[in-house]
Structure 1
Amino acid sequence: MVPAPLVGRRASAQRLIALALCSAASALAFFTAVVATQDAAADGDTRTLSFFHTHRRDNATITFRRNGRYDEQALTQLNWFLRDWRTDQPAKMDPRLFDVLWEVYQESGSKQPINIISAYRSPQTNAMLRRRSSGVSEHSQHMLGKAMDIRLPDVEIGRLRAIAMKLQYGGVGYYPSSEFVHVDTGNVRAWPRMSQDQLARLFPDGKTVHLPSNGRPLAGYEQAKAEILPRNAALAAQAASGGSLGSIMTALFNRKEPRPAPAEPPARTVALAAPTIASDVPDTALALAPIPPRRPQDLLIASIEPPQPPRPERPIVTAALATPARSSIAPIIGPDRTASVKALFDPRTAFLDLGFAPELNSDLSTTGFTGPAVKPLPVKPPAPMRQASASVGTGL
């Protein structure tokens, strides 16, 4: 019989050994990924993808890697090409997604462009699709620019799914009825899950982090987890840094190069000679530090010449204004009613310009009215001179 404390010590030792082996495997996988990245940059790795958008019916062939580094201009073109085709809204796509698609394409041996079913998806589009179908995730990777739904016309959809799952770079969704595969750069997962036998045939060595439908991981799950997670972290750092090895180390371990100590500025000397003109200053000095706009010439001369004695102040002379004489005209207290009545019946009032436009009565409205607010009174015509004609007849 083995004592219980000895059994416990053996179990603890075995756990420590397993943990050490996993850590060593993680470090080995990480440095393998870093070396592979360095080799790709050294070998001048150039990667090109050809796309065909099934909704817009347009295509593009873009080289997104040149000499092992991402081409920023090409990434900008891809961001626009993979925009939301419903709203024409672009987004910044994850560069790792293009690396995943490139490896899937190379492994498949396809000769046709990658058919795009869906790429970036705006929140408005995702909400609309979520109302139509329960299979659309509320926090879809499409909204983050990390997912694409693709199809290869000359590759069977089940084989395309298997290739993407074996890479173990992110999520893989299988939609055989719609004939496309979802690929993203999120956590390693797959839906719908394969059965235990299907997953074992896809990974004969059992080294996979994919889980079967019964939830029981394969035999090499822990080893695959120790190798794949550091590798994917290195690839994510590579995508964030643009592909350089030093940037990968900085992104993973948050290392920053020490900044050089700022040099002390040289002593400034002021020469009281002829005034300096801004055009005499070299362009390099203008680029080093901002300078104020050129002052007027008289201010420059005044700042250099010795100060002049102050001039005596002139006395302020104030002139007395004459008091205006009082007017003998009596102020009008109220309106002159007699003059007002005479003005109303004055025949000359009819010839005044009252400001009315010559329009028909049917055209008069509140919008077309341009005259005064008070309507003028009609002018009474003069009475006929009957008495004069009667007297003239009597005289004859």
Structure 2
Amino acid sequence: MELLRASIITIGDELLIGQVIDTNSAWMAQQLNLVGITVSRRVAVGDEWNAIWSTLDEELEKSDIILLTGGLGPTADDITKPLLCEYFGGKLVSDPKVLAHVTYLFEKVLKRPMIERNIRQADVPDVCTVLHNRNGTAPGMWFEKNNKIVASLPGVPHEMKGLMSDEVIPRLLQHFQPPVIVHRTLLTAGIGESFLAERINAFETSLPAFIKLAYLPNYGMVRLRLSASGYDKETIEKIMEEQFTLLQEQVADVLVTNKDESMDQVVARMLLDRRETLGTAESCTGGYIAQLLTSVAGSSRYYLGSIISYDNQVKKHLLDVPDSTLESEGAVSEATVIQMVKGALAALKTDYVIATSGIMGPDGGSSRKPVGTVWVAVGNQDEIITQQFHFRFDRRRNIELTATNAFNLLRKFIISRGTEKTNSH
């Protein structure tokens, strides 16, 4: 089966120097994959004419579809539009529909006068199909050459997403007939990648040729993804479900979820199902756990609040951690996080509390408590369990791993409370 391949080119010096993180290409790849288009390459280039031109040449040799983002603004460093005009042998002309839209945005929405730079946003190559950008002033552009497609989109994420959904994806589906791509993903915890691979080796080798298994490891967790592609959707989905059921049986004792979701989403769903609530007492994570929870609409139904006790004075006065505990055991200790849970349960009146305290780095560690040492406690009014972790990464990564593992500890606590008393206090 011949795959329909796409390349994504993101344009901007800010991407190459790390000033802006490229989230556009990841989102675009997900959307393309959902409709059966395989992304074979993602390339970032600077605001440099020759670099963009040569990258276009290279990607048109490899892919059927080229999607570009960035470089469509009104300033001198935005060169994508004139470059594409020359590349496809056209000339810039003012598009009346685009001009009317830009005028409406400035005069009616933004309440600002138009200047020449804004008016030039309506200039488009006469060899392209104009893609209406309902969210901004820079139109998208669609070019066709030798049955290959080049589409240029703004780099502003919400404008790009609108154009992808409204214009690009529907046009690609009309122009091509992509195969069906089906994914099924599950998450395991408590088993390493190599041990997991050994366990399911027989299953993996017996998979039909059109189904592939991918291992996506994280600290203490491994995501397994089955992927299949073809044109007979009904048959593919039927066989995929059969294989996915077999895979779940193989890893039943370490299975966290059979959905493509994060650990915090798993916990949120559990709390919603049980109509129970959660609070957090965060030290080393500094509110990161709270941010993950509250980034989801509707989280107020299960998440009530946090006490960010970054300083010991806050631990003492708001969470009732005794001076004697902080002096004898230290802030990064089992005794401290246990009391943090107790104090937060009293203050927040929730069913459960997560507490974290650790040394995230790059300094602050000692021989007894090196950087990456973390204590996590979770519990309710009846029981508190704890776990110590030793992470070895940079500060940001250590914070992320603390949050993920804290959620997993709470997940296990919710499932097993009343049956397991290990490490209970």
Alignment TM class, shorter chain as reference: under 0.3
Rg bigger for which structure?
1
Which structure's relative contact order is higher, taking Cα pairs within 8 Å and 6+ residues apart? Answer: 1
Structure 2 length-normalised TM = 0.20
- Structure number with higher strand proportion: 2
